[in-house]
Amino acid sequence: MDEVIDLICGKEDLDFKELERSTRYEGFDKNHQVVKWFWEVLHALDYDQKKKFLLFSTGSDRSPLRGLKDLRFILSRQAPDDLRIPSTHTCFNHFLLPEYSSKEILRSKLL
């Protein structure tokens, strides 16, 4: 029965290392400083904050049946702008991240 619930609702296991490994980038690459800050901030979040991030960026606070590696998450670069907040296209799991000037600004805007 648990497998059926996981299939319909998704899994509650949130392995953000899997998500990081499977993320595709547009305008950034995985070695860009803002991308490094982004993953440092996400990995430091507690479980409830990670669920809220997923809900904001994908429309669901659960992972696909086989885990976050199957999410097909896209992280896109927006113009440098410390005042802008991130935005998303939830239907496409597409997260639009402004190019912030510091990790602290990124963290505050993400939260």
Catalytic positions: 91
Q: Tokens representing 31?
A: 């070695």
The band of 9, judged by pLDDT with boundaries at 50, 70 and 90, is very low
Q: How confident is the model at residue 97 (pLDDT cuts 50, 70, 90)?
A: very high
- Ranges of H-type helices in the chain: 2-9, 16-22, 33-44, 47-58, 103-110
| pTM of the predicted structure, to 2 decimals | 0.88
pLDDT digits (tens, 9 = 90+) for 48-91: 999 999 999 999 998 888 899 999 999 999 999 999 999 999 99
Listed by start position, the domains of the chain span 2-110
Which CATH number is 2-110 given? 3.30.2410.10
